[in-house]
Amino acid sequence: MDIYCISGLGADRRAFQFLEINNKLIHIEWLTPIKNESLSDYSRRLSQQINTKEPFVLLGLSFGGIVACKIATFLKTEKVILLSSITDKKHLPLVLRLIGKTGIHKIVPAAWLNPPMNIAYWFFGVKKEKSKQLLKEIFKATDQQFLKWAIGILLSNEEIIAPENVIRIHGTNDRLLPLVNRAGVHKIEGGGHFMVIEQAAEVSEKINRLFLI
């Protein structure tokens, strides 16, 4: 069964490059958002990359997990696997929710939304040199307008609806999206927000094992 991968905010298929999954991985490519486009409308456009004639699984990383949940509201999926993601906006860090209420993110220039790399390394839990280099490359290649749109979506009132067949895999040391609701979560001990790279072998093992359930 094919697994359609949706990467994190501003990231691309490189985020999944160290996973060793028994199933075929197909990478969904981000599209340029239309001005004032809702998450629902954007997700419908993105879902056109999926072959719905065959059973499939969605694998969403961070912001990609939120998009995967939205796609699952209108397409039948066998499973939705979330890596380092959330199923409720109440699980966003308090500081982000406060920013959303003030609307500051709407007036801040897009270029200001990327933090200095040393701060980014800490938030993402990045320690290995290969991970630092990859994160730096991803940040450099990120489309700033897409980043601003996605942050706006995160801080908007548009709800996340977790599908019944959702499977959550989350690091216990995630600083960017801390593990709040632990019920039913498959934990990666010591895993940070970039565990898909830092602890790819352990993440791969959990995904492969979950396909046997």
Structural domain 2-210, CATH architecture: 3-Layer(aba) Sandwich (3.40)
**pLDDT value at residue 212:** 59
**pLDDT value at residue 106:** 55
Task: Please report where in the chains the tokens 């890596």 appear, as a residue.
Answer: 83
Per-residue pLDDT of the chain (213 residues; tens, 9 = 90+): 899 999 987 778 889 999 999 999 999 999 999 988 999 999 999 999 999 999 999 999 999 999 999 999 999 999 999 999 988 878 877 566 555 555 554 545 455 456 778 888 888 888 888 888 888 888 888 887 888 888 888 877 788 888 889 999 999 999 888 887 677 899 999 999 999 999 999 999 999 988 755
Could you give phi then psi for residue 79, rounded to 5 degrees?
Answer: -150, 155
Instruction: Report DSSP letters for 79-110, one per residue.
Output: EEEEES--SSGGGS-HHHHHHHHHTGGGTS-G
**pLDDT value at residue 147:** 83
CB 64 within 8 A of CB 6: yes
Q: Please give the Cα distance from 153 to 46 (Å, whole number).
A: 15
pTM exceeds cut of 0.85: yes
**pLDDT value at residue 109:** 47
Q: Please give the Cα distance from 123 to 119 (Å, whole number).
A: 6
Runs of H (alpha helix) within 48-179: 63-71, 94-102, 117-124, 129-141, 144-154
